[in-house]
Structure 1
Amino acid sequence: MQESFYRPDSELLRTTRTLPAAIYNLAHTLLAQSQTGCVFVPIRTMQYMAVLDKAEFIFVDRERPGLIELAWQSFHPGSRIALEDPVPFDLVYYDKRAAHTMQRLVAEFYKALMLLSERRIADAPPAKILSFSRKC
């Protein structure tokens, strides 16, 4: 199944922010496990959908499906010294409500990522342990 999302013609604001390492690392772990190269993350507490791919994370309001309200783009993980350091990125607002949305989005997005990650682990097939005979 293919989903289509639409970016408004113009940006209202573009600013540089940093994303906590735990969020960036978990999102990219889920992306690496994806067979399609993108991950849909429902943020139920806010009635939003996040769509992740290697280039950007977009956020769509349930009330306006398909229309991108804001995006996180141009991640720079190479600029950090350690994996625990935050990752700089560009925050792009396409709608006047985006500033209000951002006030809760980082925390709620992380919770949604954690929930998705836990469900994927629970749905994973059981591990099979193989024994190898050791030659002396």
Structure 2
Amino acid sequence: MIFLYAFALVAGVANAFQAGTNSTLSKALGQPFLAALLVVGVSALALAAAGLASGRLAWPAAGSFAAVPWWGWVGGLLSALLLLSQLFVADSIGAGPFLGIIVVAGTVTSLIIDNYGLVGFKVHELNAWRVAGGALMSLGVLLVALF
């Protein structure tokens, strides 16, 4: 289990750098949508390489596609939204406020998702501690963004 938390920690660090690297690529090329396509292409190659190296990349049975709920197909659109925000917003407002807003928005949204068990998650009901944590994170982002 500790490996999963460590993996999430590394992903969080990578996320902080990603906005700057993607924004830099966009500025250097002068083409934000081309930069986004290149980022997605490199991501696809990296995922294919990791899947092949781990032996966990295979085509599912045809019926598997029909079994996917509607929300299972919108992840790519959500990733594109995040990538576009990195290209068009992050550089203007700064890395701290940008990532802070992303993290707080994600945390508050995840509390709602958990409370209702949306998009396939198990229910984890809201309680005072979870609400207080979301409020403290929001206050922290406000401080980072304003000062």
Q: Compare the two structures and name the one with the higher strand fraction.
A: 1
Higher relative contact order (CA 8 A, sep 6+): 1
TM superposition score category, shorter chain reference: under 0.3
- Structure 1-normalised TM-score? 0.28
